[in-house]
Chain A
Amino acid sequence: SAVISQKPSRDICQRGTSLTIQCQVDSQVTMMFWYRQQPGQSLTLIATANQGSEATYESGFVIDKFPISRPNLTFSTLTVSNMSPEDSSIYLCSVEDVVGNTIYFGEGSWLTVV
């Protein structure tokens, strides 16, 4: 199984600032994804992080607000830009293990915007 590490695990951020979340996987994976879980809510897919090309964003999410990098097959970053209290959420990285037909999640990054 894939082991996924996310940093930071938690942070308290000031309104108007930006924060970059890192996702590191212990093996090479083709597909990496970023999800958001707002307080008391379910998970919503933000985007697919594509290696070597721009991320593919879901409806309601834009690159200016959530820029994503994917420099190689084991690492990705998600930036939450110009944060507002509405961005207070858990942000989770996930990967697809094609061999095992399984999708794994990191522990999440818990952001509070004040």
Chain B
Amino acid sequence: AQSVTQPDIHITVSEGASLELRCNYSYGATPYLFWYVQSPGQGLQLLLKYFSGDTLVQGIKGFEAEFKRSQSSFNLRKPSVHWSDAAEYFCAVGLSNQGGKLIFGQGTELSVKP
């Protein structure tokens, strides 16, 4: 069965430090991969997506993610975190044969220390 795992429930980083949020998926075919961010009291905002092609994808707000097929991973990175990045981050896999449906990971809550 398809699944998404975000191993870290909560991460705290200092402002200005680098960030990496982990995401592993289980899916038999080529996945469509997404990262969304949810700020407190807000809906979901798309950060970036991977469908095909270059495995390093750039997103909004200075985020990037790298698709590694051999590791079934799609980790999210940012070189320098800002206090406004504090939020919940969700990794999701889209099923290529069931257009539009997403399976979400449990989310990683990011806290940023001044």
Within 8 A of B (CB), among A44-61: 44-45, 48
Contact of A42 with B36 in the complex, beta carbons under 8 Å? no
Q: Does B31 lie at the interface of the complex (its beta carbon under 8 Å from any beta carbon of A)? A: no
* Contact of A31 (CB < 8 Å), options: B43, B44, B99: B99
B65 to chain A, nearest CB (A): 15
Does residue B25 face the partner (Cβ distance < 8 Å to A)?
A: no
Most buried by A among B44, B104, B107: B44
Interface size (A, Cβ < 8 Å)?
21
* CB-CB contacts below 8 Å: A67-95 with B: 92, 94-95
**Interface majority SS (helix, strand, loop, mixed), chain B:** strand
Task: Please determine whether B100 and A48 come into contact, CB atoms closer than 8 angstroms.
Answer: yes
Contact A42–B105 (Cβ < 8 Å): yes
B108 to chain A, nearest CB (A): 11
13 A-B pairs with C-beta separation under 8 A: A31-B100, A33-B100, A42-B104, A42-B105, A43-B102, A44-B104, A45-B101, A45-B103, A96-B99, A96-B100, A101-B32, A103-B46, A104-B46
